[in-house]
Chain A
């Protein structure tokens, strides 16, 4: 039994290959080899790692490479997992100053919801949900009016936190996406033969709407809709 425990401890202590790659990527970044670092971070991302630190570092690597589109995508993904990270907020603000397109204000509620991760909101909502259910069960045992008030209060809290969660998920008309090329002209239809609409620039956050073939409709700059090739867009899932 002791042997098995020791073996398990050794396995846990040994660095996994992915972790080694991650550390290699960090080293490459520290030494200024940003392309190599970005490649390694991308490889880890492709392996299914969904980590705030990984995305933040990936964003930094691309930022250093002056690839504002991919940097923004990395930061936005990191923000979904660590929305209150100070370094991330700083770098993201820095990147925004470099953007050439103005983005509309999403509104106070969406901004408030963006301060929390999806899991945080789900967890807190669940707590209120369990609390309301527990109080309702208690009321079935002892008909105490206090339990009913407790149920009502828990439901109000659940509605508020659940509302924030809904704002986070459905507060925008589409799925958030980042423009990747330095400059791309929106088209007035899903094809090259359509006329040009306004140009968008790398790093601009748009809302991805419907897909038609290789083209995706986006809502940009609050009121403008147009079409862009899917490969020129990084949709943040």
Chain B
């Protein structure tokens, strides 16, 4: 890819700008253990199209080995700039502090130098863990390939239960189609924990490559020699990617695109040592790592027989899930019961395990819980460490626990224990002579519940009626108005003589239309009705009916039609009711 870009540059006229050269060096990390290596990078940048290689200094006890060169060229608005990075691996052969003299670069009779670099090498215990050599299918990038894998394990010599980091990386400078099929590491003999996968880019021999990294933490369960891997992966190279075509030209691998590639790492040998048998503290239960210990009681003051919970937390780096119960020493006057534990692991190889034990004091007095210890083996320091919780104070009040508390304090109860003996003369005799009954709960008797409801109903009736009356009184006009037709029809239905008809009609007009019609002439009444929106025809019908009723009431009777006359008020009443119904419909 870089070569192609260099070729492209030939087609552009170059105008050399003022000579601007930067020459600098850096090393990372600045401190390594013996057996590890640091990466030293020398960067040259400027407007030249090419730079000579820098002169490498010699350092006693440090091997500097070239590990590749990367070039980067930019043309922005016709302005040319380039950058070259030379990478060296700095491998110390002894511990100590190294001063790496400046690198030199001679360019057009000008000598450029970098600053002096420092590297500290500690004796350490780390075992060198260079990247595993790729297999046939996974040639390294140095060989000019754009797709390869590597794996590394650290440390390669570990103790049982010590975390071993196994890192697998897939480098690809070509576009892949779909997700590669990853065959996980065989972790037989280990407890494994996969950490979060990472994806990033990295420069390898001047080529920018995508890196997919999978990391697994392994805890060996038994000593011995183990082989980690090979780890296999299958990827398909995208045949349609222009990028891949260009990449093929660069690498000369014309058959790369569109092919499925099977890659695998070489197995890595690791040696697992047993935790030393000598110097093991009594409280050691197999924990390996670096931990802290703390504990507390949920109460400081209890009565005899009351439970109190002792919480112990172990936290730190290592496989906390493998930590067994913490052995508690005997606490005089306190019965300790079984322990519950709960562990949580963090993102890294850190975790926390909490042990909760129920304690029941059986004797009163000031109690001190001491001697709670936890030991672990520190693989880095290669020695055992023992932690202890500061004394916990518990004040126990009250009498001795009931029954045989004192006995149970020294010996855990078991199902085989016989029941306690009954006092010789304490038990009082049975009751006799009574008649058996089936005493029932009152609250479950329906009759009782019904009786309970009676006062509520009575109160509701009395106060409800009172409330309604008060409501009616407070809204009398509205009440009368709403009830006007019903009242008038009720009166007209049982009308016995002509006098009742005008009375009912006038009452209706007063209630419904708020019209004092009793003293009005029929003409005035018609006018008043018209002013309230009642049609003239309906007004005339109503006044006509009132005229008939008043006439019949005060006019001379016809003895021949006495029987017919008896029926006429009822008929007239029905007519009046019909008229009032019509009036109701049109009244405002």
User: A residues bordering B, Cβ < 8 Å?
Assistant: 16, 18-19, 22-23, 26, 29-30, 44, 48-54, 56-57, 60-61, 63-64, 66-68, 81, 87, 90-91, 94, 96-102, 104, 118-119, 122-123, 126, 129-130, 133-134, 136-137, 140, 181-183, 188, 195-199, 201-202, 221-224
Residues from chain A with a CB closer than 8 A to the CB of B305 are: 101-102, 221
Q: B414: CB under 8 A from chain A?
A: yes
A198 & B337 in contact (Cβ 8 Å cutoff)? yes
Within 8 A of A (CB), among B352-378: 358, 360
A181 to chain B, nearest CB (A): 8
B403 & A97 in contact (Cβ 8 Å cutoff)? yes
- Other-chain residue from A48, A61, A130, A140 in contact with B438 (beta carbon distance below 8 A): A48
Residues from chain B with a CB closer than 8 A to the CB of A195 are: 338, 340
User: Which partner residue on chain A sits nearest B443 by CB separation?
Assistant: A122
Q: B563: CB under 8 A from chain A?
A: no
CA distance A199 to B338 in the complex (A): 9
CA distance A160 to B413 in the complex (A): 44
**Stretch from B56-64, B429-437, B528-536, B548-556 that touches the partner:** B429-437
B428 to chain A, nearest CB (A): 4
- Other-chain residue from A64, A130, A198 in contact with B360 (beta carbon distance below 8 A): A198
Q: B405: CB under 8 A from chain A?
A: yes
Residues from chain A with a CB closer than 8 A to the CB of B431 are: 53, 56-57, 87
CA distance A202 to B414 in the complex (A): 12
Known pairs A101-B305, A119-B441 / 11 extra A-B pairs, C-beta < 8 Å: A51-B437, A53-B436, A90-B428, A97-B423, A100-B408, A119-B439, A129-B452, A137-B458, A140-B463, A183-B413, A188-B340
Q: B557: CB under 8 A from chain A?
A: no
- Other-chain residue from A94, A101, A134, A181 in contact with B427 (beta carbon distance below 8 A): A94
User: Which partner residue on chain A sits nearest B304 by CB separation?
Assistant: A102
CA distance A91 to B429 in the complex (A): 9
The secondary-structure label for the interface of chain B is loop
A206 to chain B, nearest CB (A): 13
User: Which partner residue on chain A sits nearest B416 by CB separation?
Assistant: A183
Residues from chain A with a CB closer than 8 A to the CB of B428 are: 60, 87, 90-91
B456 & A119 in contact (Cβ 8 Å cutoff)? no
Residues from chain A with a CB closer than 8 A to the CB of B306 are: 102, 104, 221-223
- Other-chain residue from B304, B338, B419, B459 in contact with A198 (beta carbon distance below 8 A): B338
A221 to chain B, nearest CB (A): 5
Q: Knowing A26-B430, A49-B438, say if A202 contacts B419 (CB, 8 Å).
A: yes
- Other-chain residue from A61, A64, A188, A223 in contact with B422 (beta carbon distance below 8 A): A64
A102 & B401 in contact (Cβ 8 Å cutoff)? yes
User: Which partner residue on chain A sits nearest B439 by CB separation?
Assistant: A50
- Other-chain residue from A64, A126, A182 in contact with B415 (beta carbon distance below 8 A): A182
Residues from chain A with a CB closer than 8 A to the CB of B463 are: 136, 140
A102 & B455 in contact (Cβ 8 Å cutoff)? no
B436 & A19 in contact (Cβ 8 Å cutoff)? yes
21 contacts between A and B (CB under 8 A): A49-B437, A51-B438, A68-B420, A91-B426, A94-B422, A97-B402, A98-B403, A100-B402, A100-B403, A100-B405, A100-B413, A118-B443, A123-B442, A126-B452, A129-B452, A182-B415, A195-B338, A197-B340, A221-B305, A222-B306, A223-B309
User: Which partner residue on chain B sits nearest A69 by CB separation?
Assistant: B419
Proximity string of chain B (273-310) to chain A, C-beta cutoff 8 Å, 1 when within and 0 when not:
00000000000000000000000000000011111010
- Other-chain residue from A16, A61, A224 in contact with B358 (beta carbon distance below 8 A): A224
Proximity string of chain B (325-336) to chain A, C-beta cutoff 8 Å, 1 when within and 0 when not:
000000000000
Q: B404: CB under 8 A from chain A?
A: yes
Residues from chain B with a CB closer than 8 A to the CB of A134 are: 455
Q: Knowing A90-B428, A94-B427, A100-B413, say if A140 contacts B466 (CB, 8 Å).
A: yes
Q: B417: CB under 8 A from chain A?
A: yes
CA distance A104 to B360 in the complex (A): 13
CA distance A135 to B308 in the complex (A): 54
Q: B381: CB under 8 A from chain A?
A: no
Q: B111: CB under 8 A from chain A?
A: no
B8 to chain A, nearest CB (A): 71
Q: Max chain A CB contacts within 10 Å: which of B358, B432, B436, B439?
A: B436
